[in-house]
Structure 1
């Protein structure tokens, strides 16, 4: 069994996910996990598919021939059981470089950023831009979690960090 990680980008239009799902199914693949989003008129995403080795070459060829999508694939072996993770919900006034500051602290405190979803919006009643993110981080030890949260809160007075232990 192989796992194929697929990233794609194309002009947004109806049917992109259906085309990908049909291609995966036709080549005996099993859609494992995905994240997709419309961004500035484009539709982008990443997904993981498991497929028996005998069908992987056909699936890879079929994916690369989908018209209108830029597709990149990587074949991987399935990972073993994951480390314990925490989820951080972050909110702050938006500013240039905030993602870099947050990712730098996570790395410096021994965390591994597993997933990051961020948005920007207006603060209610104030109109100022707010940065919001949900980060899933693999990290070991309660003391490391406390140090990580303290360091993140030290980035700026306005950064609020809520922790959910998975």
Structure 2
């Protein structure tokens, strides 16, 4: 078996995920894991596929022929970083640089970002734009939750940080 990781980006349209699933199945591939999203009218996705060696080239070529999409394929698997899994939520009044500041702290502590989803929306009563980031992280051995929380909360008075063990 061969592992392929396909990234796709292009105009969003109905039936795209179904088309991708059918294509993978037709080439004897097995859909393992994925993350997909629509942003500003575009579809972006990444999917891990296991496929028998003898079908991997045909599947790669078929994926590359998806109309209106840019597709990049990577082969093989890499060993994930080891450590404690965390779920992080950061909420703040929207302003420039929040993700830059948060990821600077994560980088200083050698913390790996596994998933990250962000959004901005109006606060219910005031209408002020709020920014929210939700992610899963890997806290390396030797780092503590308390240190991470304190360093993130020190970034700004309005930054609310919620960290849970997964």
TM-score, normalization by structure 2: 0.92
Number of residues of Structure 1 aligned to a counterpart in Structure 2: 166
2: distance between equivalents of 1:13 and 1:159? 36
How much does 1:82 deviate?
5.1
Q: Does 1:164 align with 2:164?
A: yes
CA distance in 2 between partners of 1:147 and 1:80 (Å)? 23
CA contact (8 A) 2:4 2:50 kept: yes
Unaligned runs of 5+ in 2: none
**C-alpha distance in structure 1 between counterparts of 2:70 and 2:121, whole Å:** 29
Counterpart in 1 of 2:50? 50
Name 1:138's counterpart in structure 2: 138
Deviation digits for residues 132-151 of structure 1 (CA, Å, limit 9, x no counterpart)? 11111111347522211111
Quickly say closer, same or farther: Cα 1:26–1:81, change in 2 above 3 A: farther
Q: Show the counterpart of 1:90.
A: 90
Q: What is the distance in 1 between the residues matched to 2:80 and 2:11?
A: 36
Give unmatched runs, 5+ long, in structure 1. none
The question of whether the paired residues in 2 share the 8 Å contact of 1:109 and 1:147 is answered with no
**2:144 match: secondary structure:** helix
**What's the CA shift string for 1:7-52, capped at 9, x where partnerless?**
1111121111111101111111111111212211211111111122
CA distance in 2, matches of 1:156, 1:139: 22
Give matches, 1:3-152, under 5 Å: 3-77=3-77, 79=79, 83-141=83-141, 143-152=143-152
Q: Runs in 1 of length 4+ with deviation above 6 angstroms?
A: none
Are the aligned partners of 1:84 and 1:140 in contact in 2 as well (CA < 8 Å)? yes
